[in-house]
Amino acid sequence: MIDLEVPRRLRPLVSQTHQVAVNMLRPISRTYDRAEHAYPTELDLLASMVDGLADSGASSGAGAAGVRRDGGAGGRGGGVRNGANLASVLSILEMCWGDVGLLLSMPRQGLGNSAIASVADEEQLRRFAGVWASMAITEPGTGSDSASITTTAVRDGDEYVLNGEKIYVTAGERSDAVVVWATLDRSLGRAAIKSFVVPKGTPGLRVERLERKLGIRASDTATLVLQDCRVPAENLLGSPEIDTKQGFAGAMATFDNTRPLVAAMAVGCARAALDLTRDLLEQAGVVVDHDVPPLAQSAAAARFLALESDWEGAYLLTLQAAWLADNRRPNSLEASMAKAKAGRVGSAVTLGCVELAGTLGYGEGELLEKWARDSKILDIFEGTQQIQLLIVARRVLGLTSAQLR
């Protein structure tokens, strides 16, 4: 049976990560927001600490790279399991309480690492251990519909030749490798889409440009071009066979892992805004009392309580999606529900807090305006709000993508 309290064995991880957010990320948050594209060198030490904890077994799942397919039944006669997925969600939430852009800039914690964890075989997991991998899905003519990818991968002996263009690649310049989604045969549709690990420095792969953005400015967002880019055949993640019966399921397993992580980013950023706004309201003489009905409190307090209750729903959905993954239960519906709810709540809460704080919220003296800018992308990447709601509708109604578009 699911219990959405933070498991006792993960509480030290949550506490440690929160301290990192307080003492390492918050103090440099504004600095790297203003210095867009400058690499936060302070993160190298932090990444080494995370690696050390993971290697020692003291802290599994300290970030995106921690999402692994563990052995064991997990909920099927083996008892309830709180594993790497839940640990990753909780630690990412705390890190994004500190700064979303800095979390996205963490070495070896890229979204591509979750793609590797989701699809790679055991040999590939060992070979790519310790690699910082970004993920390249979106193309100039292909946004939310990942199944319409046009980047091609053609087999040539022991290599695949990749051609195409990818945009909005998070950590696309800084990462060690890029997980590129490409099609083996466009005539076979979504079933032919596979992912390839392309190491940086591979001839034919180049960074075309870096984007200037509304938020998450500490994180580099790149456009990549692949021109006759050759990668070893063994860098195709998972099976090279095209299974038309399975369709897009293999590739979508990546999203089942990464969408709860992005939901956790939104939940963490929104929590930061709520915590600061509560303090600012108290300084202004506005007391928020959870034991008194909202209608019996000031308008500001009632609005704050409404925002907080909305946040609670997003938080619980995010934990549920991660818990299901840890216990080997299907979580595609719950992952999309968490991403949709948290993405919307992230924007609604951070903007609501800006309004409640008035001039303090709108100025750069506090981080509220920054969090409002940062949170918007979390409702967009890894599948937009509209796409998530479409996926949820298909799952609930039992309809295919062809039946409900």
Residues marked active site are found at: 382
Cα radius of gyration (the chain): 21
Phi, psi of 217 (to 5 degrees): -70, -20
CA dihedral 25, 26, 32, 33 (to 10 degrees): 130
226/219 Cα distance (integer angstroms): 22
Among residues 131, 156, 137, the alpha carbon closest in space to that of 224 is found at: 137
28/124 Cα distance (integer angstroms): 36
Among residues 282, 277, 295, the alpha carbon closest in space to that of 352 is found at: 277
For 48, residues 6+ apart whose C-beta sits below 8 A from its C-beta are none
What Å distances lie between residue 123 and 68, 120, 129, 235, 251, CA to CA?
14, 8, 10, 11, 19
Q: Give, as one character, the DSSP assignment of residue 80.
A: -
275/298 Cα distance (integer angstroms): 18
Cα 242 → chain centroid: 27
142/139 Cα distance (integer angstroms): 5
Q: Are 94 and 21 in contact (CB under 8 A)?
A: yes
Calculate helix-pair angle for 26-34, 368-377, nearest 10 degrees. 70
Burial letters 389-404, b for 16+ CB under 10 A, else e = ebbbebeeeeeeeeee
What Å distances lie between residue 262 and 10, 153, 327, 390, CA to CA?
20, 28, 20, 18
Element (H, E) at 66: none
Q: Are 146 and 137 in contact (CB under 8 A)?
A: yes
